[in-house]
């Protein structure tokens, strides 16, 4: 038998719709009460580790999950772990675990777009799919994955793309790494290896700001007076900023904190390409670090992990750019 640990954290998958049509949290998790047939070779243990809508989830909760998973694999002989989670920040928890959990075991996150008693509720179906993926031998060495709507996505690039559609989780640029069919779990991509970092705390303050046409220095000026440990900038296109931002940006650079550039485009990779004023080539010369194809919310977590792992200088640059 394969021992699978299900860690429930809350989200729509654990909620129901009330008589007025509002979706509200349940005291008792409907997913743990549900009756359904498990795969023959699975022995399931369920724990409600916390019960929160995912906008309430913080890096401290992610750290709690990391520690619980490492204990489950090292001391309790679990084969794989399933985490049920609200979809709003699910990609962030998945990315955090993918970058910090050292043990190699299938770790699968899932959620639902429709709560437990809504017509066409997808929670139980996604939960069973996630259990199938977590108990599949081929899921070893795939990193942390997100399973929703019959698809398997790598935690590194997956993102929530739709406010309500059950097919909300997509992997722009690369696509899913696997499919769940009626009879099997099929993978058609290998994991791109990437570094992990050991952390025991998640203390840093790292805001994200987004660039737009006509943006000036105001936001950077304000940030230069704040007590922050790093900054992520969602720049334009391949990684450019309006020239009117540069005076303020320089004041943030003078604080000697790491500043990471990603693109506000949801496809592709930000790179220093343009050498005009505010272009990526100049931003790199000013000391900004280009993240490799991840979105701003993930770049923020990556920088937070780097700082809390005690990295500095070139170590941060290499970890972020990888
Ligand atoms: N707002 C909900 C949450 O993230 C959405 C969901 O779970 O699908 O908790």
| Ligand 1 mean position, distance from CA 186 (Å) | 27
Active-site residue set:
12
Residue 77 reports pLDDT greater than 80: yes
Taking only the tens place, the pLDDT of each residue in 176-188 is 999 999 999 999 9
CB of 8 closer than 8 Å to CB of 32: yes
Q: Report the pLDDT value the prediction gives residue 68, as an integer from 0 to 100.
A: 97
Q: Confirm if 43 and 2 have CB atoms less than 8 A apart.
A: yes
If one counts every other C-beta atom within 10 angstroms of the C-beta of residue 77, the result is: 8
Structure tokens at 210: 């987004």
Mutation probe of ligand 1 site: the residue of 14, 23, 86 with most atoms within 8 A of C-beta: 86
Which one, of 196, 225, 216, lies nearest residue 301 by Cα?
A: 196
Instruction: Return d(Cα 172, Cα 108) in angstroms, integer.
Output: 19
Q: Decide whether any atom of ligand 1 lies within 6 Å of the 87 Cβ.
A: yes
The rounded Å distance from CA 108 to ligand 1 centre is 17
Report how far ligand 1's centroid is from the alpha carbon of 94 (Å). Answer: 15
**Alpha-carbon distances of 110 from 38, 202, 214, 236, rounded to whole Å:** 16, 24, 39, 31
Read off the pLDDT of each residue in 72-96 and give the average, rounded to a whole number: 97
21-37 pLDDT, tens per residue?
999 988 888 998 889 99
pLDDT reading at 3 higher than 80: yes
pLDDT of amino acid 53: 97
What is the per-residue pLDDT for 289? Answer: 98
Residue 193: predicted pLDDT: 81
Please state, in angstroms and rounded to a whole number, the distance separating the CA atoms of residues 149 and 161: 13
pLDDT confidence tier of residue 142, bands split at 50, 70 and 90: very high
Give the pLDDT score at 76.
97
Q: Which residue has the tokens 């401290």?
A: 60
Q: Give 255-305 pLDDT, tens digit per residue.
A: 999 999 999 999 999 999 999 999 999 999 999 999 999 999 999 999 999
Question: Are 132 and 168 a contacting pair, CB within 8 Å?
Answer: no
Q: What is the pLDDT of residues 298-310, one digit of tens each?
A: 999 999 999 999 9
Reply yes or no on whether the pLDDT at 125 is more than 90.
yes
Ligand 1 pocket residue status of 53, Cβ below 6 Å:
yes
- Going by the DSSP 8-state scheme, the letter that residue 189 receives in this structure is S
Sign of CA dihedral 211, 309, 193, 167: negative
- Check pocket membership of 12 for ligand 1, CB cut-off 6 A: yes
Nearest atom (ligand 1) to Cα of 85? 7
- Cα–Cα distance measured from residue 266 to residue 264, given in angstroms and rounded to the nearest whole number: 6
Give residue 265's pLDDT. Answer: 97
- Tell me what pLDDT residue 302 has: 98
Residue 161 is encoded by which pair of tokens? Answer: 């793309």
The pick from 22, 53, 162, 167 for probing ligand 1's pocket by mutation, whose C-beta has the most ligand atoms within 8 angstroms, reads: 53
- CA 143 to centroid of ligand 1, rounded, Å: 23
Averaged pLDDT of the chain: 96
Confidence at 318, pLDDT banded by 50, 70, 90: very high
Q: Is the model's pLDDT at 189 over the cut of 90?
A: no
d(CA 172, CA 47): 33
Looking at residue 26, what is its pLDDT? 85
Domains and CATH numbers, the chain: 2-187 (3.40.50.1170), 208-321 (3.40.50.40)
Pocket lining: 70 vs ligand 1, CB cutoff 6 Å: no
Range with lowest mean pLDDT among 51-60, 98-107, 310-319: 98-107
Taking only the tens place, the pLDDT of each residue in 221-268 is 999 999 999 999 999 999 999 999 999 999 999 999 999 999 999 999
Q: What is the mean pLDDT of residues 148-152?
A: 98
Mutate-to-test residue for ligand 1 from 17, 111, 126, highest number of ligand atoms within 8 A of CB:
111
Distance 90 CA to ligand 1 centre (A): 8
pLDDT for residue 194: 87
Instruction: State the pLDDT at residue 103.
Output: 76
Could you tell me the two tokens for 180?
A: 């769940």
Whether 39 shows a pLDDT value over 80: the answer reads yes
């Amino acid at each position: 038998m394969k021992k699978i640990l299900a860690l429930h954290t809350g989200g729509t998958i654990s909620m129901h719709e009330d008589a007025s049509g509002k979706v509200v949290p349940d005291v008792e998790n409907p997913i743990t009460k549900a009756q359904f047939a498990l795969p023959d070779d699975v022995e399931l243990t369920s724990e409600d580790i916390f019960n929160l809508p995912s906008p309430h989830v913080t890096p401290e909760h992610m750290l709690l999950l990391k520690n619980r998973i490492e204990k489950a694999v090292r001391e309790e002989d679990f084969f794989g772990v399933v985490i049920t989670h609200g979809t709003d920040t699910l990609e962030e928890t998945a990315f955090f675990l993918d970058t910090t959990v050292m043990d190699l075991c299938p770790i699968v996150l899932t959620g639902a777009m429709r709560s437990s008693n809504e017509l066409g509720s997808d929670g139980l179906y996604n939960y069973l799919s996630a259990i199938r993926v977590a108990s599949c031998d081929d899921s070893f060495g795939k990193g942390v994955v997100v399973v929703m709507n019959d698809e398997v996505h790598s935690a590194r690039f997956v993102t929530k793309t739709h406010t309500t559609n059950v097919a909300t989780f997509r992997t722009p640029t690369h696509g899913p790494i696997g499919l769940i069919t009626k009879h099997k779990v099929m993978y058609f991509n290998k994991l791109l290896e990437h570094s992990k970092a050991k952390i025991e705390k998640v203390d840093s303050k790292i805001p994200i700001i987004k660039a737009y046409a006509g943006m000036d220095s105001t936001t950077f000026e304000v940030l230069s007076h704040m007590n922050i440990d790093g900054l992520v900038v969602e720049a334009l296109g391949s990684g450019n900023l309006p020239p009117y931002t540069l005076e303020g940006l320089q004041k943030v650079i003078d604080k000697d904190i790491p500043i990471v550039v990603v693109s506000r485009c949801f496809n592709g990779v930000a790179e220093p390409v343009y050498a005009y004023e505010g272009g990526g080539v100049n931003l790199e010369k000013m000391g900004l670090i280009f993240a490799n194809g991840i979105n701003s919310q993930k770049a923020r977590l990556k920088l937070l992990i780097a700082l809390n792992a005690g990295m500095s200088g070139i170590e941060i640059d290499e970890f972020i750019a990888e």
